């Protein structure tokens, strides 16, 4: 392993590190607290589940014997404490109580809808089946209250005690089980299932009053009330309309939830896609349809634009739209967009937020859900809805579960396929996309741990080629299809521009052999290809590293009729080694050059270039060369080299200056000199010498 490699780590790790470092250079932005927050949440969750676990663990010790009969006792729960845990620990944001109460109201309406269709068959009588089915919210700043009213199924006295009087008992879950038993499959629009959402209101409330009347004909109305301290009261009440009204008396420090604008924002954030109308102080708030649940064919382009602007909080349009539905291997309804605008510096930074939100049954589980797509796809905006995601006790506690990993894999594969299809269906559109977003694809290759995924991303890469016109980009698959089957290699050359690539001494040798070479102009490209290693069973080989190999044809290594003869070459090499001591590690001849007098070869050219770009400035010349270990390869047929040999006996001084200059030029050509201004003094000295006799 070379010293440089040792310094920068093995080449692959090195490529990844270098790439990420380079990307992160654009992070003058405050790091987001999102991940910290998730971590906090998971600590809480672990603490909570550990506690449950340890109480249930049986302790066994050696030598102990049991006596008498065992007694079975029920755990005693301190309701006040339990309520506290539910109210305080399970939810990270207080504002989610609004989402929870709206979800309950929506469930109540869904159940009523279901019953009004099925009631007749069961012989139940429902009251007022023609009333408006909606969710009303009223805020009252003066009295510091927020009220949620629905015209849904309502509750009988028994249901009140069972559903609101028992923590972690979900009436909705039983309802779903019940209707499933009857063979109905309409459960998917019902949200509740853990029986704790209601209590989240105690995070913000001193007192909660519930007025409810069941929609089963003849049911009386009731008032339920509690201050969350462990007891509740129930009383019959007159004048209660069918459905449920919940009055939340806000704590002083939670008065913001009696503010119309604040509440509107929260509804829009979490509950915008609820099926029933949500009316806040006489104004309907939820307007946008959950477009991802519609049939892809039925959604117009205008609807997509409106939806994209709504979820992305932006004014541009999507350039690509993927509306994706599947039920296997898990249920996914997704709409994913690539923005029309170019990514800004902020999007480029790996600290930037992801743009996809995770829903389950129209309810937001997590906006900017950073684990449902890989980080490098952070430019994608959209919505993913999966019924299969269990709504964890708290939906905030979404972990990197197997299910989420599965979801991410399916989505990523589908999205990559989509980009690939777009490339063939709309080459022009894809070309502009590539110009604007290819950096993300490259990041994907460098950061992905799955070889399959990397290969899929690599299919999307495009480069100019030595065999195609300037400005025409080609894929590696197309490159491969142009090669003879026995060529198991894809050659590439990193250079700042087409001109420099074509005149590069490194390219010259392949050109002679009529081999096609991909040109990479982006600084990161060579790191990406180094990391990728192969594509479609063909090895990716940089032209520079190909030059280091011994020539395949042995006779090539014998000096030809033209140029210097072996003894002269030996003499020149000896001279060069002496003059360039401390700079070159070795001097050899090469047959691979025509128009160039010499070339520099270093092990790990890509890493070396990055090293020169980023770390070499503060290093002494001596140390720098010791790390780079440049090897000078000379073309014994080149006029300059021939002349240089002549100078050895006529003008040693000039010979030395020429040798130094040849070395510097070769270093510049190799991209290993960051500041060419250093060379100017020497060039001037050389000019003085050249002009002396005139
Ligand atoms: P979950 O919604 O997960 O079931 P909650 O704590 O949010 O748990 O609610 C507990 C139960 O109380 C619900 O399952 C439902 O039976 C009942 N409930 C809550 N709100 C309402 C409402 N607005 N109308 C009718 N029933 C309700
Ligand atoms: Mg609920």
339-355 tens-digit pLDDT:
998 888 777 877 778 88
Q: How far, in Å, from the CA of 160 to the mean position of ligand 2?
A: 14
Measured between alpha carbons, how far is 590 from 634 in angstroms, rounded to an integer?
Answer: 6
Q: How far, in Å, from the CA of 533 to the mean position of ligand 1?
A: 56
The pLDDT of residue 241 is above 80: yes
Ligand nearest to the CA of 363: 2
How does residue 23 score in pLDDT terms, banded at 50, 70 and 90? low
Greatest mean pLDDT among 38-47, 247-256, 611-620: 247-256
How does residue 335 score in pLDDT terms, banded at 50, 70 and 90? very high
- Residue 601's Cβ-count burial label (10 Å; 0-12, 13-18, 19+) is buried
How does residue 13 score in pLDDT terms, banded at 50, 70 and 90? low
- In CATH terms, is domain 1-22+553-694 a member of 3.40.50.2300? no
Q: How far, in Å, from the CA of 40 to the mean position of ligand 2?
A: 23
Q: How far, in Å, from the CA of 140 to the mean position of ligand 2?
A: 23
399-451 tens-digit pLDDT:
557 888 889 999 999 999 999 999 999 999 999 999 999 999 999 998 998 99
Q: Which of 104, 187, 210, 224 to mutate to test the pocket of ligand 1 (most atoms within 8 A of CB)?
A: 104
Half-sphere exposure of residue 173, counting CA atoms within 13 Å on the CB side?
12
The pLDDT of residue 154 is above 50: yes
Ligand nearest to the CA of 244: 1
Taken in order 396, 401, 403, 406, is the CA torsion positive or negative? positive
Contact 663, 587 (CB under 8 A): no
Residue nearest to atom 15 of ligand 1 (CA): 171
Own/partner long-range contacts of 572-576 (Cβ < 8 Å, ≥24 apart): 572/634, 572/641, 572/644, 572/645, 572/648, 573/634, 575/648, 575/655, 575/659, 576/632, 576/634, 576/659
The predicted model gives 329-340 an average pLDDT of: 94
Specify the ligand 1 atom closest to the Cα of 174. 14
Q: How far, in Å, from the CA of 214 to the mean position of ligand 1?
A: 13
Q: What is the pLDDT of residue 51?
A: 27
359-397 tens-digit pLDDT:
888 877 787 888 899 999 999 999 999 888 765 534 444
Q: How far, in Å, from the CA of 156 to the mean position of ligand 1?
A: 13
Q: How far, in Å, from the CA of 191 to the mean position of ligand 1?
A: 10
Higher pLDDT, 286 or 193: 286
Specify the ligand 1 atom closest to the Cα of 196. 6
Helix 11-24 to helix 605-614 angle (10° resolution) is: 40
Q: What is the pLDDT of residue 160?
A: 94
Measured between alpha carbons, how far is 291 from 288 in angstroms, rounded to an integer?
Answer: 8
Architecture of the CATH domain 49-284: 2-Layer Sandwich (3.30)
Alpha helices in 299-342 (DSSP H): 301-312
Nearest CA among 100, 96, 91, 94 for reference residue 40: 91
Specify the ligand 1 atom closest to the Cα of 152. 24
Q: How far, in Å, from the CA of 163 to the mean position of ligand 1?
A: 6
Higher pLDDT, 678 or 255: 255
Specify the ligand 1 atom closest to the Cα of 172. 14
Higher pLDDT, 14 or 290: 290
Q: How far, in Å, from the CA of 418 to the mean position of ligand 1?
A: 41
Residues in contact with ligand 1 (CB, 6 Å cut-off): 100, 104-105, 108, 150, 152-153, 155, 163-164, 170-173, 192-198, 244
The predicted model gives 7-23 an average pLDDT of: 56
CATH dotted code for 290-458: 3.30.230.80
Measured between alpha carbons, how far is 391 from 92 in angstroms, rounded to an integer?
Answer: 15
Higher pLDDT, 97 or 23: 97
Measured between alpha carbons, how far is 341 from 343 in angstroms, rounded to an integer?
Answer: 6
The predicted model gives 115-140 an average pLDDT of: 80
Residue nearest to atom 18 of ligand 1 (CA): 104
The predicted model gives 38-66 an average pLDDT of: 41
Q: What is the pLDDT of residue 55?
A: 32
Which residues in the chain are classed under CATH 3.40.50.11260?
Answer: 461-549
- In CATH terms, is domain 461-549 a member of 3.40.50.11260? yes
Ligand nearest to the CA of 152: 1
The pair of structure tokens assigned to 301 is 């382009």
Which residues in the chain are classed under CATH 3.30.565.10?
Answer: 49-284
Rg (CA), the chain: 36
Lowest mean pLDDT among 29-33, 125-129, 329-333: 29-33
Q: What is the pLDDT of residue 54?
A: 32
How does residue 677 score in pLDDT terms, banded at 50, 70 and 90? confident
Give the number of other Cβ atoms within 10 Å of residue 292's Cβ: 24
Which residues in the chain are classed under CATH 3.30.230.80?
Answer: 290-458
Cis previous bond, 329, omega within 30? yes
Measured between alpha carbons, how far is 434 from 361 in angstroms, rounded to an integer?
Answer: 34
Q: How far out from the chain centre does Cα 231 lie? A: 47
The predicted model gives 22-35 an average pLDDT of: 34
Residue nearest to atom 2 of ligand 1 (CA): 192
Half-sphere exposure of residue 223, counting CA atoms within 13 Å on the CB side?
12
Nearest CA among 169, 146, 136, 150 for reference residue 108: 150
Q: Which of 162, 163, 165, 271 to mutate to test the pocket of ligand 1 (most atoms within 8 A of CB)?
A: 163
- E-only strand ranges, 171-317: 205-213, 221-226, 232-237, 243-250, 278-280, 283-284
Give the number of other Cβ atoms within 10 Å of residue 204's Cβ: 23
- pLDDT above 70: percentage of residues in the chain: 85
DSSP strand pairing (135-140 vs 586-589): unpaired
């Amino acid at each position: 392993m070379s010293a440089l490699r040792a310094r920068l780590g093995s080449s692959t790790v090195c490529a990844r590190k270098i790439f990420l470092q380079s990307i992160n250079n654009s992070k003058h932005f405050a790091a987001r607290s999102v991940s910290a927050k998730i971590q906090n949440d998971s600590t809480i969750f672990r603490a909570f589940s550990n506690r449950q676990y340890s109480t249930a663990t049986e302790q066994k010790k050696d030598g102990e014997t049991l006596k008498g009969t065992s007694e079975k006792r029920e755990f005693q729960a301190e309701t006040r404490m339990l309520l506290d845990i539910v109210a305080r620990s399970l939810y990270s944001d207080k504002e989610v109580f609004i989402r929870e109460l709206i979800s309950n109201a929506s469930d109540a309406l869904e159940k009523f809808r279901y019953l009004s269709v099925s009631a007749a068959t069961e012989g139940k009588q429902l009251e007022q089946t023609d009333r408006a089915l909606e969710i009303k919210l009223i805020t009252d700043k003066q009295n510091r209250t927020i009220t949620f009213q629905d015209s849904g199924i309502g509750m009988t006295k028994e249901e009140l005690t069972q559903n609101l009087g028992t923590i972690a008992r979900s009436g909705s879950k039983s309802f779903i089980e019940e209707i499933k038993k009857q063979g109905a499959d309409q459960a998917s629009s019902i949200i509740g299932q853990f029986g704790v959402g209601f209590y989240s209101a105690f995070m913000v409330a001193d007192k909660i009053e519930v007025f409810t009347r069941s929609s089963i004909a003849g049911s009386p109305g009731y008032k339920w009330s509690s201050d969350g301290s462990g007891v509740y009261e129930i009383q019959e009440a007159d004048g209660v309309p069918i459905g449920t009204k919940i009055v939340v008396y806000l704590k002083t420090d939670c008065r913001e939830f009696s503010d119309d604008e604040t509440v509107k924002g929260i509804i829009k954030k979490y509950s915008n896609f609820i099926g029933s109308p949500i009316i806040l102080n006489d104004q309907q708030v939820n307007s946008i349809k959950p477009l991802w649940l519609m049939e892809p064919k039925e959604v117009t382009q205008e609807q997509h634009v409106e939806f994209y602007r709504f979820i992305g909080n932006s004014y541009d349009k999507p350039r690509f739209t993927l509306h994706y539905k599947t039920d296997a291997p898990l249920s996914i309804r997704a709409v994913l967009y690539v923005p029309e605008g170019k990514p800004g510096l902020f999007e480029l930074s790996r600290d930037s937020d992801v743009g996809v939100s995770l829903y389950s049954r129209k309810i937001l589980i997590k906006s900017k859900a950073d684990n449902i797509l890989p980080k490098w796809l952070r430019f994608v905006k959209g919505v993913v809805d999966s019924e299969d995601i269990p709504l964890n006790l708290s939906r905030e506690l979404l972990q990197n579960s197997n299910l989420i990993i599965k979801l991410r894999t399916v989505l990523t594969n589908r999205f990559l396929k989509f980009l690939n299809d777009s490339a063939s269906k709309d080459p022009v559109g894809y070309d502009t996309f590539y110009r604007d977003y290819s950096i993300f694809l490259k990041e994907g290759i460098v950061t992905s741990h799955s070889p399959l995924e990397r290969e899929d991303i690599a299919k999307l890469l495009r480069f100019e080629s030595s065999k195609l016109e300037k400005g025409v980009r080609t894929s590696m698959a197309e490159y491969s299809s142009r090669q003879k089957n026995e060529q198991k290699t894809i050659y590439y050359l990193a250079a700042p521009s087409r001109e420099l690539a074509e005149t590069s001494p490194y390219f010259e040798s392949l050109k002679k052999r009529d081999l096609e070479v991909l040109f990479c102009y982006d600084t990161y490209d060579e790191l990406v290809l180094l990391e990728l290693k192969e594509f479609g069973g063909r090895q990716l080989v940089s032209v520079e590293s190909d030059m280091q190999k011994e020539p395949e044809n042995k006779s090539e290594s014998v000096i030809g009729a033209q140029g210097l003869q072996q003894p002269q070459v030996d003499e020149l090499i000896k001279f060069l080694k002496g003059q360039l001591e401390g700079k070159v590690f070795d001097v050899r001849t090469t047959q691979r050059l025509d128009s160039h007098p010499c070339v520099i070869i270093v092990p790990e050219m890509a890493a070396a270039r990055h090293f020169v770009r980023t770390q070499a400035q503060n290093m002494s010349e001596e140390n720098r060369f010791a790390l780079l270990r440049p090897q000078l390869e000379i073309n014994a047929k080149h006029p300059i080299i021939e002349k240089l040999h002549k100078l050895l006996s006529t003008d040693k001084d000039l010979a030395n200056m020429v040798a130094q200059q040849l070395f510097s030029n070769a270093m510049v050509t190799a991209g290993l000199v960051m500041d060419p201004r250093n060379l100017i003094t020497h060039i001037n000295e050389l000019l003085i010498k050249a002009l002396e006799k005139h």
